Amino acid sequence: MGRLGRGFKGGLRGADSGDVAHLRSWAETHEGVEAFVEPRTTVTATTMLLVDRDGAWTRRRISSPDGARKLARSLRMPVYDVQLVGYPQRMRDHDARQRILRERERRRDLNG
């Protein structure tokens, strides 16, 4: 047994069918979705980020950059290398709006 008794072997967890199923399902329920491939790092596997037209997003592990492109083609969406194009502004704007809404809700709960 490894770290914390969970059988950790020191490697990265790769993508599984649940990751791909999540990406497919998310893409089917959002409009204007684009895919962004994030490279493997020392602490994370290759990931695929999906961003819809409003900036909402989801991220899951994917087998490889080629696997991400293949999945994007099957979903008929554009796919970009995030190292070349960066993250879309609409995603950052969406996250900023969500932070403001969470803070308002927190203040409302405190003053409630």
- Write out the chain's pLDDT in tens, 112 residues: 444 444 445 566 667 789 999 999 999 999 999 999 999 999 889 999 999 999 999 999 999 999 999 999 999 999 999 999 999 999 999 999 999 999 999 988 888 6
Show the tokens assigned to 81: 């290398």
Q: Which of 8, 51, 9 is nearest to 27 (CA)?
A: 51
Q: Say how many residues make up the chain.
A: 112
User: What is the rounded CA–CA span in Å between residue 76 and residue 18?
Assistant: 20
The two structure tokens encoding residue 22: 């999540």
Place of tokens 């990931």: 47
